[in-house]
Structure 1
Amino acid sequence: MGELKLPEIDYGALLPMLILFGAACVGILIEAALPKERRHAIQLSLALLSTVAALVAVILARDIRTITIGGAVAVDGPTLFLQGALLLLGLVSLLLIGERSLEAGGAFVSQAAITVGSQKDLRQAGSQPGGPEVYPLTLFALGGMLLFVAANDLLTMFVALEVLSLPLYLMCALARRRRLLSQEAALKYFLLGSYASAFFLFGVALIYGFAGGVQLSQVHDAVVTPERSQVLLYAGLALVAIGLLFKAALAPFHVWTPDVYQGAPTPITALMAACTKVAAFGALLRILYVSFEGVRWDFQPVLGGIAVLTMLVGAVLAVTQTDMKRLLAYSSIANAGYLLVGVLALNRDGLASTMFYLVAYGFSVLAAFGIVTLVRDADGEATHLSRWAGLGRKSPLFAGLFTFILLAFAGIPLTSGFTSKFAVFGAAIEGGQTWLVIFGVITSMLLAFPYLRVVVMMWLSEPGESTPSVSIPGALTSAALTIGVVATLALGVVPAPLIDLTNDAAQFVR
């Protein structure tokens, strides 16, 4: 019997994930050991410090290119870039979460200032510091996302998928005012996510039968061997793709998105809209570019059809929405379609432009949901579009910021939305996917209508009695909004530094 040999482990390459998982475990111990009134500040500080420490670890590991833990984890250019993006976006999300306490309105209420409601309401909101258990859950989700984009075998990818998903299911149910809506959203997300995970795992089993292994390099080598079973290959790829397309909110696997975005606490929705999309597309890029590039001519038309369907569903149904969070949900679905156009370029520019798009969209959507958390009345967030009429007269600063973000979503020049769409469409044309670009341009024009309708409503309508006030943001929310808006402007005006960074990082290792 041979001696058992443990795989070599590069702890420097794994340090960002170890920091987040370690901090999350410490956060659980804090929940059990400290009195309730002290937990919130300590948990928030721990979450922010550990995220910053993990980001520093990613920066220090920028020159590492390795496959470690017996081939389970690959640390390369896309891994480090996407991990850095996840940590930056996660840090901004934590600022939004930290400013608010989970309260009864399906959202967080500002502990710093509330401009509506009685002093009793303010005291009650302050006495509910927001369930500090949300912070270790967020760290577990972020740690799972870091592992998800680094996974170099399908089983590790499945484990990472569950690690990032389970905390999100729980956090979607943490709203306390409209508890039934929040818990209904969490249950839908959990049930549909479980089915998607089951499809993914069954696909892994079929690919193992096809390739004789689950490492992405083994699958790549098997794909180029013509005598292997093509039935197992295509069935396995289809089932694995279903699991990833669900997480990325691509049609027809998008149906959970509007309900979950509407029912979840808004800062949690912001975390999902920004970070989960980065993780899902990071894993999709790795699988398609590393393992299945040899059958690109077979899956490109199918995924191209899904991209077109996603763009059409997101653009058309966004026009019919009357709730701001559902409007942003369908906007997220449409943007997932644009991202898939970049993925299907299947060239270096496609990889680089998709990573650029993920960062640009992440900052914009965090700023958008940050503003949504501030538009409130005595009953909580005022998300119905009719309530936003005349908001520009009552709060011109925040209406102006929201207008700028909506113009970025519409792809207006001098915003990150224009630059990112131009990048992915250019890469797609170079990759021979001009037909997808045509649909992308048409749906972008359709999607501009609901954005401009909100802008017209805010600025050209008279404020009524039902027009809510805008809460004065605290320091953390102000920081999050500033980062999101400045990033949206900077990536539209001077995108070259990030474009250069994505080009340098656009190389997978096998």
Structure 2
Amino acid sequence: MIDSLSFSAVAPEIVLLVMACVVALVDLGVTSRLRTATYALTMLSLAVVAWLTAQAGAAGDTVYAFNRMVVVDSMANWLKFFATLSMMVCMVYGRPYAGVRDMLRGGEMFTLSMFALLGIFVMISGNNFLVIYLGLELLTLSSYALVALRRDHTVATEAAMKYFVLGAMASGFLLYGLSMIYGATGSLDIGTVFKVVSTGQVKHQVLVFGLVFIVAGLAFKLGAAPFHMWIPDVYQGAPTAITLIIGSAPELAAFAIAIRLLVEGLLPLAFDWQQMLVVLAVCSLFIGNLAAIAQTNLKRMLAYSTIGQMGFVILGLLSGVVNGSPAAAANAYSSAMFYIVTYVLTTLASFGVILLLSREGFESEEISDLAGLNQRSPLYAAIMAICLFSLAGVPPMVGFYAKLAVLQALLVSGSSFNIGLAVFAVMMSLVAAYYYIRVVKVMYFDAPITATTVAAPADVRVVLTINGALVLILGILPGGLMSLCAQAILKALTT
């Protein structure tokens, strides 16, 4: 553990901030329809940031900086690395789609995405309530602008308005909860809050009151029911390239602040917040999976699927402390981290196929639009099938191992209630299998609605193929990523 006042601890954030400004300036002189120079500079910048975070993650040091307001530990570095890779993939998949829909008249999509990623970084490394909230606002304000980027599209504008109103309410919940905890403990520092709460001298009712609002705010950011209202409308209404951005990397940030606030700051109140998480997990699994069955729009179906998937992440978070003992904490939280990372990987590939099939004047977002895809392009049909089987938890895809890891964390806890939750989760997974396999049936057994072949730029084709292959390979060989998550969580909890 190293205390640092230098700027070296936040080198990736500095590079990201400076290059976002440089990209905005360089774009003023770019005239190409696809903003080729802007895109290349953005990708180069993100590659440098990914390399910096991977280097720091491999070193495994825990660094506190700026009077302990910022913590850069193994968990932070690897989550930043995965978030950066996710944003790079979003740029590759989204550029052709945005280009034909007149969303690249300027370089706003690239600069706003970099600022959103900067907000994610700040959230992940926040060790102070205000730092976390500042990161959250930077991410959400950038996201609102991205959703509204297609200015002449009424559905996208409506989605942006809904996102803005509900997002502002959720931010208010979180901020109010944090202010209550600050009022009770007298500190904004997460480590100090933990020490004060551990003494047991703070009025319990005040802490729980603040905790309710914090959990509500976190549930909104994770997209957990009953705070899920925005997800289906925003996923469906936003341009698909933007849906991909807001449905991938921000989930990693939401997981990080859940760990920072609930585990590192408020672990002595685990008995209270675990009960709240139980309600969120059960509602998410039930509402998300049942509502998804009724959807005919693929983006909306994947939105409800996301709600159900977040139920599994929450199950991992709530199984870390049993009977007041945090002995199983590292195992449970690492399984949740593994789940969220692999979920983001699968989401990237599934939305990548939807973006690929979209063309000018055609969105390809209805399930029926995938009819006969195997006859038009066996490769892209196979990638989509792999992703859907992974989301359903079918072996040997990575989604199966991710679900198995969370269920194992529930069973290892030894609590009969947690075992009941595991049984319920398996039952909901069986329900989910129906609507995922229905899409596979449409791709492989229905007659194609068009005979046009699927063409893709070389970079999209290569990245999408690697993305789909990783969903399969990590399911067969999950050990490396699982041990990386376990070590990252262990170091975060012990420093």
| TM norm structure 1 | 0.90
Q: Could you tell me which residue of structure 2 aligns to residue 448 of structure 1?
A: 433
User: Following TM superposition, by how much is the alpha carbon of 1:488 offset from its aligned partner in structure 2, in angstroms?
Assistant: 0.2
* Structure number having the greater helix percentage: 2
Q: Which one of 129, 138, 152 corresponds to residue 163 of structure 1?
A: 138
Note if 1:239 corresponds to 2:239.
no
Query: 2: CA distance between counterparts of 1:131 and 1:423?
Result: 44
**Identical amino acids, percent of aligned pairs:** 32
Q: Greater shift after overlay, 343-352 or 443-452? A: 343-352
Q: Could you tell me which residue of structure 1 aligns to residue 51 of structure 2?
A: 56
Query: 2: CA distance between counterparts of 1:290 and 1:222?
Result: 12
Distance 1:379 1:348, change over 3 A: same
Note if 1:97 corresponds to 2:82.
no
Q: Could you tell me which residue of structure 2 aligns to residue 331 of structure 1?
A: 305
Query: 1: CA distance between counterparts of 2:34 and 2:460?
Result: 20
Is this contact kept in 2: 1:388–1:468, CA < 8 A? no
Q: Could you tell me which residue of structure 1 aligns to residue 459 of structure 2?
A: 476
User: Following TM superposition, by how much is the alpha carbon of 1:184 offset from its aligned partner in structure 2, in angstroms?
Assistant: 0.5
Q: Which amino acid aligns with 2:108?
A: E
Q: Which amino acid aligns with 1:89?
A: S
The aligned runs of 1:395-434 (5 Å cut-off) are 395-431=377-413, 432=415, 433-434=418-419
User: Following TM superposition, by how much is the alpha carbon of 1:202 offset from its aligned partner in structure 2, in angstroms?
Assistant: 1.2
Q: Could you tell me which residue of structure 2 aligns to residue 493 of structure 1?
A: 476
Q: Which amino acid aligns with 2:274?
A: Q
Q: Could you tell me which residue of structure 2 aligns to residue 66 of structure 1?
A: 63
Secondary structure of the 1:175 match is: coil
Note if 1:288 corresponds to 2:262.
yes
* RMSD over aligned Cα atoms: 1.9
User: Following TM superposition, by how much is the alpha carbon of 1:130 offset from its aligned partner in structure 2, in angstroms?
Assistant: 5.3
Distance 1:446 1:470, change over 3 A: farther
Query: 1: CA distance between counterparts of 2:96 and 2:466?
Result: 15
Is this contact kept in 1: 2:150–2:239, CA < 8 A? yes
Note if 1:144 corresponds to 2:140.
no
Secondary structure of the 2:71 match is: strand
Q: Could you tell me which residue of structure 2 aligns to residue 462 of structure 1?
A: 447
Distance 1:219 1:471, change over 3 A: same
Query: 2: CA distance between counterparts of 1:190 and 1:321?
Result: 24
Query: 1: CA distance between counterparts of 2:93 and 2:359?
Result: 19
Query: 2: CA distance between counterparts of 1:130 and 1:329?
Result: 28
Q: Which amino acid aligns with 1:180?
A: T
Query: 2: CA distance between counterparts of 1:377 and 1:148?
Result: 35
1:355-391 Cα shifts (integer Å, max 9, x gaps): 2112211111101001001224663212122232233
Secondary structure of the 1:74 match is: strand
Is this contact kept in 2: 1:353–1:427, CA < 8 A? yes
Secondary structure of the 2:247 match is: helix
User: Following TM superposition, by how much is the alpha carbon of 1:199 offset from its aligned partner in structure 2, in angstroms?
Assistant: 1.2
User: Following TM superposition, by how much is the alpha carbon of 1:332 offset from its aligned partner in structure 2, in angstroms?
Assistant: 0.9
Query: 1: CA distance between counterparts of 2:453 and 2:299?
Result: 17
1:149-178 Cα shifts (integer Å, max 9, x gaps): 11001111000000111111111112367x
Is this contact kept in 2: 1:148–1:279, CA < 8 A? yes
Is this contact kept in 1: 2:251–2:340, CA < 8 A? yes
Q: Which one of 231, 242, 249 corresponds to residue 268 of structure 1?
A: 242
Is this contact kept in 2: 1:376–1:468, CA < 8 A? no
Q: Which one of 318, 340, 344 corresponds to residue 318 of structure 2?
A: 344
Is this contact kept in 1: 2:93–2:356, CA < 8 A? no
Query: 2: CA distance between counterparts of 1:35 and 1:52?
Result: 21
Note if 1:26 corresponds to 2:18.
no
Query: 1: CA distance between counterparts of 2:356 and 2:4?
Result: 49
Query: 1: CA distance between counterparts of 2:9 and 2:344?
Result: 25
Q: Greater shift after overlay, 361-370 or 81-90? A: 81-90
Secondary structure of the 1:224 match is: helix
User: Following TM superposition, by how much is the alpha carbon of 1:11 offset from its aligned partner in structure 2, in angstroms?
Assistant: 2.3
Q: Which has the higher contact order (CA 8 A, sep 6+)?
A: 1
Q: Could you tell me which residue of structure 1 aligns to residue 357 of structure 2?
A: 375
